[in-house]
């Protein structure tokens, strides 16, 4: 017993100080994109041609990037001859609506806001989530699970994963929602007592991700259930997921 206590004392405090301090992100981290439309040649479509999931579009104001489709690969950045596209290190990507995920880089990115007053009153202090993997590759599932480890300690924010939907306040869904998972997802949602919320985590859960062209999937959670929070990424970093959850509960109040 003494050896165990001594070892624990030597380890010190292992939980990350977030949100008081941001943990160091790796140099290869791909966050909120920066788009400089002025650098984009009018007839150039190389970035769109290079995108494997058709996440880049063009309008009167120049190119736009759909973070709901984006798998955060550097293909568009590498294809752009003028350097008009780049991914920053900003991890704050979660939004409340599907439309807000489409960014031109010039407008203000509409990050997630807190639940309405009634939902916040009911769920704000203690949020229980049933995690559903609806046909994913296990990438998003791993980063969702990481939040339950000692370093992240999701429970200190009053958020917990539960085994039964009957004990849950909402669903956290990963994967593109395959046809074989549609009925199971609907039944799980129906088993959650109201009021309830739905969170879509990852490109697959939002729009189908790299499987978006496959007829075996339904194109994300929104095709089956109403979604309250979208967290993009392939997979999203644990910090991005946690940021979205805390914003939804109104526990992050820094300027947008």
Residue 48 is assigned to a structural domain of this protein: no
Query: In this structure, are strands 159-161 and 127-133 parallel, antiparallel, or unpaired?
Result: parallel
175-204: average pLDDT? 96
Output Rg (C-alpha) for the chain, integer angstroms.
19
pLDDT over 90 at 43, yes or no: no
State both tokens at 73: 């690969």
Averaged pLDDT for residues 219-242: 97
Q: Which CATH number is 233's domain given? A: 3.40.50.12280
Task: Find the mean pLDDT for residues 69-96.
Answer: 94
Q: Which pair of tokens denotes residue 236?
A: 């999203």
Q: What's residue 34's pLDDT?
A: 92
Burial-class residue 100 by CB neighbours within 10 Å (0-12, 13-18, 19+). middle
Whether 229 is covered by a domain: the verdict is: yes
Mean pLDDT, residues 68-89: 93
Residue 232 placed within a domain: yes
Could you read off the pLDDT of 111-121 as tens digits, one per residue?
999 998 888 88
**Average pLDDT for 153-174:** 96
Query: C-alpha angle with apex 135: 204 to 228, nearest 5 degrees?
Result: 50
Predicted confidence at residue 252, as pLDDT, reads 82
Question: Does the structure show a pLDDT above 50 at 107?
Answer: yes
DSSP label of 93: -
Q: Can you give the pLDDT at residue 253?
A: 62
Identify the domain containing residue 191 by its residue range: 117-248
Between 14-28, 213-227, 236-250, the lowest mean confidence (pLDDT) is in 14-28
pLDDT score recorded for residue 117? 86
Helix (H, G, I), strand (E, B) or coil at 63: strand
Q: Which two tokens stand for residue 173?
A: 């869904």
Q: Residue 179 pLDDT more than 90?
A: yes
Identify whether 167 is part of a domain: yes
Question: What is the band of 12 on the pLDDT scale with cuts at 50, 70, 90?
Answer: low
- Work out how many domains the chain is built from and give that number: 1
**Tokens read off for 230:** 């979208």
Query: Does a structural domain hold residue 35?
Result: no
With beta carbons less than 8 A apart as the criterion, state whether 32 and 57 touch.
no
Q: How confident is the model at residue 149, as a pLDDT?
A: 92
* 207 in a structural domain: yes
Residues composing the chain:
256
The per-residue pLDDT for 11 is 65
**CB-based contact 117:250 (threshold 8 Å):** no
pTM: 0.92
pLDDT reading at 200 higher than 90: yes
Task: Please check whether residue 106 lies inside any domain of the structure.
Answer: no
- Domain membership of residue 40 (yes or no) is no
pLDDT value for 255: 43
């Amino acid at each position: 017993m003494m050896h165990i206590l001594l070892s624990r004392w030597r380890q010190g405090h292992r939980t990350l100080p977030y949100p008081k301090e941001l943990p160091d992100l790796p140099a290869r981290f791909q966050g909120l994109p920066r788009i400089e439309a002025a650098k984009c040649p009018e007839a150039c479509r190389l970035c769109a041609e290079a995108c494997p999931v058709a996440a880049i579009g063009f309008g009167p104001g120049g190119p736009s990037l759909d973070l709901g489709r984006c798998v955060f690969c550097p293909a568009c950045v590498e294809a752009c001859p003028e350097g008009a596209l780049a991914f920053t290190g900003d991890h704050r990507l979660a939004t409340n609506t599907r439309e807000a995920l489409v960014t031109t880089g010039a407008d203000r990115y509409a990050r997630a806001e807190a639940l309405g007053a009634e939902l916040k009153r009911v769920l704000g202090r203690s949020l229980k989530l049933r995690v559903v993997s609806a046909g994913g590759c296990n990438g998003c599932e791993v980063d969702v699970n990481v939040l339950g480890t000692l370093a992240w300690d999701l429970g200190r924010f009053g958020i917990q994963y539960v085994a039964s939907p009957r004990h849950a306040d909402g669903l956290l869904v990963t994967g593109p929602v395959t046809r074989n998972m549609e009925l199971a997802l609907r039944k799980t949602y129906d088993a959650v007592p109201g009021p309830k919320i739905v969170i879509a985590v990852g490109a697959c859960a939002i729009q189908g991700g790299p499987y978006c062209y496959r007829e075996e999937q339904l194109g994300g959670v929104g095709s089956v259930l109403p979604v309250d929070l979208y967290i993009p990424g392939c997979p999203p970093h644990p910090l991005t997921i946690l940021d979205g959850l805390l914003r939804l509960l109104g526990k992050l109040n820094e300027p947008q």
